[in-house]
Amino acid sequence: MNAIITASELASDLAGPRPPVLLDVRWQLSVAKAAGEPPFDGRAEYAAGHIPGAVYVDLDRELASAAGAQGRHPLPDLEVFGAAMRRAGVSSGRRVVVYDGGQGWAAARAWWLLRWTGHPDVRVLDGGLPAWDGPLSVQAPAPGQGDFRPVAGAEGLLDADGAAALARSGVLFDARAAERYRGDVEPIDRVGGHIPGAVSAPTNENVGADGRFLPAAELRSRFDALGAHDGAKVGVYCGSGVSGAHEVLALAVAGMPAALYVGSWSQWSSDPSRPVAVGPDPQ
């Protein structure tokens, strides 16, 4: 199954006899902003115009639990997540398509959660809303209640110890910007740097200038050059388990399964007992 879908394919599916459930997960990372600049409001963006039939999903409240010792975007309570998905009309026997404002991180977080908890058919709109050239709607749909019941997967998830071990025994990718990996800057978390042994693989290098994923062959070549070859086990982390999900999605497009360390650097760096590496070298 392909993990992504083009805008033209989505338009065709929406016009078909059994359209997919469509989720709008517009979101932006909350960082310090200039005085007087309002924070990003995904719900307001949705209300101003969305792909017809799409239901808004709140990443901070429905795809994550409250920030704390487990990181800035810990796993959501599965009852909360499941209720949100059923309210949006998600059922196990019906395809789901997810999109966001174009960056792809939030949509990938929803994709990863649905896949990890057992949904068999989820895709991300490649390029997000900017790739859509069809009409927009300001009408919120009233989908029927879905039947999806999330069950935590046995694989695909790393904790801090698992991430540390994988950095030694397999390949652990750090999906953040290279300057954060090196520890040159750290605008959010307690300390800069990376998990010892992790390899820098910024997620923005998985897409072209239009925000769409590079071809699968190019992604395979990229990850192979970074060490993900010969059947090596692969894991990904980022700042808080959002952009890392986008890298897991890129790996899926390339045909390479990978696990996600959801706590990511926000959890790792908050524990003074955890070692921190700095500079361009993984160690």
Active site (catalytic) residues: 238
Q: How far apart are CA 123 and CA 99, in angstroms?
A: 9
User: Per DSSP, what are the bridge partners of residue 123?
Assistant: 97
Q: Which two tokens stand for residue 77?
A: 């309570």
Angle at 255 between CA 252 and CA 258, to 5 degrees: 50
